[in-house]
Amino acid sequence: MNINRDMKILLVLTVALGIASPGLAQRRMSGGEGLPKYDPSTEATVKGTVEKVTQDTSPMGWPGTHLALKTGAETLDVHLGPSAFLTAKKFEIAAGDQVEVIGSRIEYEGADTLLAREIKNGDKILILRNAQGISQWSAGRRR
């Protein structure tokens, strides 16, 4: 057993993990690399019928509650936010509901997407983000 060689290997591994760990932790905390940010300049109001409600829990995807929203000639992917936030606010939504959504209209992975800031379902309104796009569930921790 060569102690010097083993110590060198251990030192290299420790340094490599020390460099990689903060980046990996930040990626996990932010929900993934390359997820789009809310852009107030692209804000739009859309009305439509909910075709499908899904909860994505994949750490490699875009976690949270998504809607397939039929708005006439098109179907938009609407990202509401973390499913736990909607549950905590007792906001329910189902296929067939008629909703109005205010959000940042973007393209994500080649598809028209709406990052919701506010959603109205019947007489219930859920505020998901403020006018600058800062999410209510993060309580402004990102800025």
* pLDDT (tens digit per residue) in 8-64: 656 555 544 444 444 433 333 334 455 678 999 999 999 999 999 999 876 666 678
Check the CA dihedral 23-37-116-88 and report its sign: positive
Range of the domain at 16: 1-30
Instruction: Tally the domains of the chain.
Output: 2
Q: Where are the beta strands (DSSP E) in the chain?
A: 43-56, 64-70, 75-81, 98-108, 111-121, 124-127
Tokens 């490599």 identify what position?
16
Query: Domain with 63 in it: what CATH number?
Result: 2.40.50.140
Over the chain, what is the mean pLDDT?
80
Per-residue pLDDT, 110: 84
The answer as to whether 138 is a domain residue is: no
Q: What is the reported pTM?
A: 0.71
Instruction: Inform me whether the pLDDT recorded for 143 exceeds 80.
Output: no
**Same structural domain, 116 and 68:** yes
**Same structural domain, 62 and 121:** yes
**Same structural domain, 81 and 120:** yes
Those residues whose C-beta lies under 8 Å from the C-beta of residue 59, and which sit 6 or more positions away, are 28, 31, 32
Instruction: Inform me whether the pLDDT recorded for 92 exceeds 60.
Output: yes
